[in-house]
Structures are given as C-alpha cells and as structure tokens.
Structure 1
C-alpha cells in the first residue's frame, strides 16, 4: 500500500468511495467540465493515487493507474485511440497512467514531487517495466504546437518495434507532415508539463496526435521504458520516496 508523507502533503492510494469521489471532482475542475465529477468505465479497473493537503484534507492532485500485461493492452484507455498490437509482445508489467491533474489554483512544486514519488514507489514495488498513457495538448488546433511536434518528430519518436498505429478517425500526422526544424525554446514553451517530464525520463511518443473533441485536446501516445530511464533521473525519483 502506497502511503508517503512529506511536508504538508500525503500521497496514497484511494481506499474508499469518498476518495474516488474527491479525485473525480478534482478531475472535473481541472478539465473544465460542466459536471460535478469526471467518471468513466475505466475508473473501476484502476488504482487511484491522491495527494492531499494534510492541513485541510483537500485533494490537490490525482491520477489513475491501470496495471496490465501483454495482450491486455487492448483493454486500456489509450487503445480506444491507438492501434497498440505491437506492444502486446512487450515483456513485463505495464501501467497505464491517466487522468493526471493538479489543482489549477495551486503552484507548489512539492505536489508534483509527491505524485512522482508515489508512482516511483508503485513501479519499484510491482516491477513495472513500461509506463504509458496519453499526453495532452490543450485545444484541437495543432498550429500552436508545431515546434513542439517538430521536436517530438526529431528526437522522441517511439522505436519502430513499439510504434502505435493510427486508429482514431481524426489525427494530425506530424511525423509525416512536418518538415520544419524545431525552435527548441518555443517547443519547450508549448510542451505540456507532464509530457516534458516523460521526455526527461527517456520517454517516446506516437508519430501522430489524436484530436479528442470530447476532451478538447490533442494527445500523443507516450511510453516510458523503466529500464531506459537515465541513472541520474532514477536517483532523483527514488530520493523522493
């Protein structure tokens, strides 16, 4: 059972319906939904991490984890949007990380640190070999993010053996369409913070972005092979646990 305390924050697995309600309510706020809670059928298959303020008890960060192996990747959330048969042969446990969000009114970097500490503890405890999920860019127009997509094409495409194929009806094939050299400063400025963290860990992405009109985002499939995380980055992550 994950339960980590540092400073004013406590990161742990949700253990009750009340915990899940609080996580779903925060998700609805962060995603700008008009409903009280963001909930879907995948919630029941997942473990939910919540980071709370030990003073107020308020949930300030949450994400969910779906622990799967092999062909079960076809049951993942991401498999709705990406053809993932190549990853059915991946050797080892995989965790799909999704619905990651932090209270938009807060800017304390310790919140993110606690979230990653909990993930690191889970990965080490369960010998997870691959983290994956959908990394989202706000809005549906790729024009704002062309330098970011050009940088992903130039430096961070998935290995061919794992490369997700197109499944969704509406996609932006940035690897095929972009011919520009990325402006690295602009690329990092427009790179989603969570995706930036994955890339620092050696993460890779699909060669196309899915236009998700329901969530008003563009997203790329993202994978992080645990064995490929740079040693210095691993030390930083484990120092948080």
Structure 2
C-alpha cells in the first residue's frame, strides 16, 4: 500500500506510469467456488481492470468525487495502488482475457510495505499509528477499496474475498487486520441505529483502542441503548461491516465523513486471535476450505 504517498486520490502521470508489476508470473489461485476464483493481480492490465471496477462502483454508482485525470481515464486510482497487492475475484465463465473476468477486488497493504512507503491509507482518518505503536510485536495489514459489481454481490463472492484475504494474511504472518468500513452518505445521523449499535456493542477496548482523529471525529452513539433494536440495526448495516462483526471484529471510536467518496467511515479492527473459531473451522486454519 505505499511509496512516498501523495494526498489520497491525487493522480499524476508519474504515479500512473510507475505503477508497474514484473512480467507475468503464474497466478496462484487462492480459492474457487464454481466459476468464481480469487487470486492476486499478476499484471498491470489486471490492476487497471480492477481500477475500472472500482470506478464503476465508487464513481458511477456511489457518486464519489475523484481527481480529474482519473475521471478522464474512468479509473479509481491513487498513489497507494503502486504498492498494494490487489486481490481479485474473477468469473472464469466469462469468455475473454482475465481483465474482462474481474468482478470484485480488495486492496491489501502489509505493515512492512507501508512502513517504508509513507503509511496506511486509513491513517488520514484514524489514529492507527498509536494502535500500531502499542503492538510493536505484531504485524498489521490494511484492507481497503473493497467492491463488487452489483450482479455479483452474493454470499459466494464475499466468501471468496475473505478466503483470499485470509490466505494472504496466513502467508505473511499477519497478526491483525484493519480498514475502513463505509456507510453510504455524509450524514451520520441517517445511520443512527446501526452506528449506535456498533458503538454500544462492538467498540474497541483496552489494547486495541483506536479513535478517529479529533478534528474529524463524529460521534456514533446517537441513540439511547434502550432504543436500539439489534435485529433492525444489523439489517440496516452494510453487508461488509456485518460480515466483519460475524468474524469477531471490533469498531474504532468515532466515525469520519469522507466527502470525496460520499461515505461515513468507521474503522474495522480484527485481531487474528479474535476471529471466531466457527469461521476458522469454516475456511480452514490453513485457508484450505476453498483452495483449488
């Protein structure tokens, strides 16, 4: 996830021209369900196609505001793309090149890469530096830019995204994962039920405490606990955040409004040791559940 990082979403010809992968190497499939498979991008063309998927979801569907050059190119691009690994979900039933088969993507940034490259994307909104400093013996990984084309927003696709992230985390000895989870819109009060539920039931505590930066902090505790119906709150929650909760994730203190992407962000914190045994068993302690 980073070299000398420019401001998020600032795109320059230098950034675009230096985002280069080595020559094609064999693609290691991390998981497969039916015609869908997940693996890392292995060519620049695949990264470009993943950026096109992100553009369709974030800009065309969610009305995100990105840099003019990125708008012209119809790609969601920023400087982190140069250093991240790009996890893909492909539909192999689609005829054509792999670029045409990409239906979902995730961006992965390991701590060792971020440390030498300018930091994590989400540290512009949340004080993740303090969290990481508190765990000097652990290796963190940031998950970001998760998106799936509308017709593929199914349980199978979500399972494959997690399968890929889990296999990647095991391979690189990751101790904890974190990243922004987003609610649509820039008015946190419109999500009062879900945000209040998260604050009251899943808030980070103790050594995992992390907060939104003070100048961006928006309270999540918007309703009294007696008014929060858990079932309705979960129903109102974005599927990705709900999925993280099932895995055992915690939520940082405070939300942040991202005006460029027209979202209200919360920070997901998922220590590997907190992942529910049910899901470890489901995907396999060696990530072998859906491995090919």
Match of 2:13 in 1: none
Alignment partners' CA distance in 1, 2:211 and 2:200: 18
User: Offset of 1:103 from its aligned partner?
Assistant: 0.5
User: Offset of 1:5 from its aligned partner?
Assistant: 3.0
User: Offset of 1:120 from its aligned partner?
Assistant: 1.6
Match of 1:55 in 2: 93
User: Offset of 1:237 from its aligned partner?
Assistant: 2.2
147-156 or 177-186: which moved more?
177-186
Alignment partners' CA distance in 1, 2:225 and 2:204: 19
TM-score when normalising by structure 2: 0.76
User: Offset of 1:69 from its aligned partner?
Assistant: 4.9
Match of 1:87 in 2: 132
Alignment partners' CA distance in 1, 2:214 and 2:35: 42
Match of 1:156 in 2: 202
Deviations 1:203-239 (A, max 9, x none): 0111110000000000011110111112111111222
- Which residue among 137, 158, 162 is the counterpart of 1:112? 158
Query: SS at 2:42's partner residue?
Result: coil
Alignment partners' CA distance in 1, 2:200 and 2:153: 31
Stretches of structure 1 that go unaligned for 5 or more consecutive residues are: none
Is the Cα contact below 8 Å between 2:32 and 2:290 reproduced in 1?
no
Is the Cα contact below 8 Å between 1:70 and 1:88 reproduced in 2?
no
Is the Cα contact below 8 Å between 1:48 and 1:64 reproduced in 2?
yes
Match of 1:24 in 2: 51
Alignment partners' CA distance in 2, 1:39 and 1:70: 19
Match of 1:167 in 2: 213
Is the Cα contact below 8 Å between 2:132 and 2:140 reproduced in 1?
no
Is the Cα contact below 8 Å between 2:114 and 2:120 reproduced in 1?
no
Deviations 1:136-180 (A, max 9, x none): 0000112221111111112101123232233263332124x5434
Alignment partners' CA distance in 1, 2:267 and 2:87: 21
Alignment partners' CA distance in 2, 1:26 and 1:107: 13
TM-score when normalising by structure 1: 0.91
Is the Cα contact below 8 Å between 1:69 and 1:92 reproduced in 2?
no
Query: SS at 1:185's partner residue?
Result: helix
Query: Following superposition, which runs of at least 4 residues in structure 1 exceed 4 angstroms of deviation?
Result: none
74-83 or 160-169: which moved more?
160-169
Stretches of structure 2 that go unaligned for 5 or more consecutive residues are: 1-26, 64-70
**1:1-241, aligned counterparts within 5 Å?**
2-3=28-29, 4-33=31-60, 35=71, 36-56=74-94, 57=98, 58-69=101-112, 72=115, 75-84=119-128, 85-90=130-135, 91-167=137-213, 169-175=215-221, 178-181=223-226, 182-238=228-284, 239-241=289-291
Computed over aligned residues only, the root mean square deviation of the Cα atoms, in angstroms, reads 2.1
**When the two structures are aligned, how many residues end up with a matched partner?**
240
Normalized per residue, which structure has more strand?
1
